[in-house]
A and B are shown apart, each in its own frame.
Chain A
Amino acid sequence: MGNDDTPKQPAKAKVVPAKPDGDLVYFNWSEYLNPKLFKQFEKRYGVKVRQSNFDSMQGMMAKLRSGNRYDVIFPTAEWAIRLRAAGALLRFDPGQLKHMDTVYDYFAKPWYDPTADHTVPYAMYATGLIYRTDKIQPTGSFNDLGMPEAKGRSYMLDDFQEVIGAGNLVNGAELNSTDPADVEKAKEWALGIKPNLRGFSTDDIQNMVNGNGWVHHGWNGDVVNLRYQVKDPENYSFQKCSEGIPLGSDCFAIPANAEHPGTALTFINFMLEPENAAKNINYMGYPMPYKGPDETFAELVKDDPAINVTVEDLQSGQQFEDLGRDGRRLWDQTWTEIKAG
């Protein structure tokens, strides 16, 4: 497990200043950052942003492992733990980030980066179910995915952590349990739901927008985004499930082999500026843990507080954790069995 405070990588003798030192090589989920901010950043600092996207954490890891060099990446907390422990992240001087003071105190020494010098918090998310309330009556349980009235209109996330995690919660186990008996029961739960499913997909926005889905295992912020795209937004609702709320957060990080770490720090600082963070929240629909911009998000979801994720939620809810090598292997193999079964 990589939860210790001493990553393999030694502290850099030389402090990297937050000054542009070349174009920004950017690697993130698609549509997860307001593209207008790229333009602004390019204009202000006279550098280009070279974008590329991943569609899963495993996809991001595959690219990093095969030697691609990026300046800024966006791992979720549990993947940040692994990257940090392997010495794959640059250790920077937090003093270079002058807007760090807006970050919630809760993230001052985050569990995934206790020294707070390998990552900067980016966004918080919760997993639950997205419903078409004009078609079906939600009960707020993960078992709604198996509702007979939603047969062939139900989607589970195409994500091993989300599916096995949800199965664990339904069965009353810990979200991150790697006990083989628990994982087996979670598998049975997923296989029981499977005949009702139309598919496994992480594209909750499109599956709901095009009418194929009536209930979708999905992420809170995506409801905000999908409501922009439909004629009758009041018919789409997000609910956290009674069995438990899987929570997560993701962060900015700079790979150890980044070519332009100075530009990366400049960019992170730029994104932390309250005005820019607010613009970003409005676009992507996920709460960012910064004082000030968080009001933008509260405004955005004021009619539907279920979409919000707060620090109190993070404190009381169950967060995805790194499963460790053997646990991850068990989950991976179980996931393959769910998909093939």
Chain B
Amino acid sequence: MDGNQGGLTGDAFAARALLPGGLWLLAFFAVPLAIVVALSFGTTDDLGGAIYGWYPENYSRVFDPLFLPVLARSVGYALATVALCLALGYPVAYYIARFGGRRKNVLVALVVLPFVVNYLVRTYAWVALLADEGLVNGVLGTSVRFLNTPYAVIGGLVYGYLAFMILPVYAALDRMDPALIEAGKDLYGSSWRTFVHVTWPTTFQGVLAGSVLVFLPAVGDFVSAQLLGGPGTYMVGNLIQQQFFGAEDWPFGSALTTVLMLFLLGWMVLYLRSAARAVRT
């Protein structure tokens, strides 16, 4: 804090206003994060309890070639999820922003509504719906095996994170001046070319933001693979969860978590750079 006496300047006021949020982040984000990092160098006692120490071999286990396919699978599923969320979410956002009219806020609220229900509960609902003798197969009169496939896992991820794509894209579309589209049409004529040359580039930062917001949690997700997946859909989130609740190996789980966070941080930095460039131009 600065040593300002008397009336608060704008900066000092802002600094103080940030204090509660800053303390919150420190206590519930920075401190636990530091514990995870510290634990990642630890080991376990006889009861499986984690103890601090210096055991860097946790990290050499992380880079065991065995786990590479697991990470590749997680990234693959997450990228597929981003692509599907974009394909499904962009038209929805476009419709709400351009044609929502007075109902815009209601429509946005409807997009957010499923998120009132916990992700885990919603995924359990899918288990019941998609079972071999579940509701979907019953209504369709089919016996398709939906569950325990990669498709079910990706479907669950899309369902779980779709709103994270719709909202930023909607915000970008809503900010966009509709006159730009009219101008585009005046100049080119076709709706498609207007979209490609005007709307898409204008809203690209929103798409990028949505993609990052979907990608990051999807890579680390374990719920979808655990409930909807099969033995061949093991993701890095499952691997980490297994260390904490299955293998009594919190130190190795922490090392995996730390490496995953650094990996995701790399993507985040790339995104922030791109966003910063977009602001400058």
Contact = CB atoms under 8 A, between A and B. Distances in A.
Contact of B245 (A2, A56, A325): A56
B134 interface: yes
Contacts of A211: 131-133
A210 B134 contact: yes
A332 B247 CA distance: 5
Nearest to A87: B47
Given A198-B231, A341-B66, A212 B245 contact: no
Interface residues of A, number: 35
Contacts of B232: 194-195
A48 interface: no
B47 A62 contact: no
A340 B50 CA distance: 23
Given A86-B46, A199-B148, A199-B231, A340 B70 contact: yes
Contacts of B49: 65
A336 B242 contact: yes
B247 A335 contact: yes
B134 A325 contact: no
A99 to B, nearest CB: 31
Given A210-B131, A211-B131, A335-B246, A86 B231 contact: no
B67 interface: yes
B36 to A, nearest CB: 15
Interface string B33-72: 0000000000000111100000000000000001101100
A200 B66 CA distance: 19
A58 B247 contact: yes
Contact of A82 (B47, B67, B245): B47
A336 B247 contact: yes
Interface residues of B, number: 30
B234 interface: yes
Contact of B47 (A86, A197, A329, A341): A86
Give the interface centre of A2, A59, A341 by most chain B CB atoms within 10 Å.
A341
Nearest to B145: A152
Contacts of A2: 46
Contacts of A61: 47-48, 248
B175 to A, nearest CB: 44
A199 B132 CA distance: 14
Nearest to A339: B234
Interface in B236-257: 238-239, 242-249
A187 B80 CA distance: 31
Contacts of A339: 231, 234, 238-239, 242
A88 B47 contact: yes
A195 B133 CA distance: 23
Contacts of B69: 340
B147 interface: yes
Contacts of A199: 148, 229-231
A58 B245 contact: yes
Give the interface centre of B147, B148, B239 by most chain A CB atoms within 10 Å.
B148
Interface string A51-88: 00000101101100100000000000000001101101
B148 A336 contact: no
Contacts of B46: 2, 82, 85-86, 325
A313 interface: no
B231 A200 contact: yes
A85 B69 CA distance: 40
A210 B133 contact: yes
Given A65-B48, A340-B67, A58 B246 contact: yes
Contacts of A275: none
A160 interface: yes
A333 B242 CA distance: 10
Contacts of B238: 339
A337 B231 CA distance: 12
Contact of B239 (A85, A198, A340): A340
A329 B43 CA distance: 11
Interface string A125-159: 00000000000000000000000000010001000
B249 A210 contact: no
A58 B48 contact: yes
Nearest to A198: B148
A83 B242 CA distance: 21
8 contacts: A82-B46, A82-B47, A195-B232, A197-B230, A210-B133, A212-B131, A333-B247, A336-B242
Given A210-B132, A212-B148, A332-B249, 6 more contacts: A62-B248, A195-B232, A199-B230, A329-B249, A335-B242, A340-B67
In the A-B complex, the 5 residue pairs with the closest CB atoms? A332-B247, A211-B133, A197-B231, A65-B49, A210-B131
